[in-house]
């Protein structure tokens, strides 16, 4: 699947490959120590955020995976 921004598609594929390799070879075998793909994810995330702004895609009210800047909600 391509990314929301054409310029991000290669980064998405690189991150997907890294994550899938780590998940299968480490995490599923009990080694949950660290995710070597964090930097790739951050670069990809920044690229997607830029593409969303450029395409003027409304994202208000949507929650995204990752660390939230505002964690003030409580149950």
- Match 């994810």 to its residue by tokens: 41
Q: How confident is the model at residue 65 (pLDDT cuts 50, 70, 90)?
A: low
Which pair of tokens denotes residue 10? 């290669």
pLDDT score of 64: 60
Over residues 18-58, the pLDDT tens digits come to: 999 999 999 999 998 888 999 999 999 999 988 888 878 77
Q: How far apart are CA 11 and CA 14, in angstroms?
A: 5
> Which of residues 24 and 74 earns the better pLDDT score?
24
pLDDT at position 11 = 93
Helical pair 9-25 and 38-54, crossing angle rounded to 10 deg: 150
- The residue among 68, 49, 57 whose CA lies nearest residue 7 is 49
Q: Is the pLDDT at 75 greater than 80, yes or no?
A: no
């Amino acid at each position: 699947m391509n990314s929301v921004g054409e310029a991000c598609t290669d980064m998405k594929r690189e991150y997907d490959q890294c994550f899938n390799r780590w998940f299968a070879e480490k995490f599923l075998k009990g080694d949950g120590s660290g995710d070597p793909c964090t930097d790739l994810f951050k670069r990809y995330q920044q690229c997607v955020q830029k593409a969303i702004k450029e395409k003027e895609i409304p994202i208000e009210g949507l929650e995204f995976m990752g660390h939230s800047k505002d964690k003030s909600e409580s149950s």
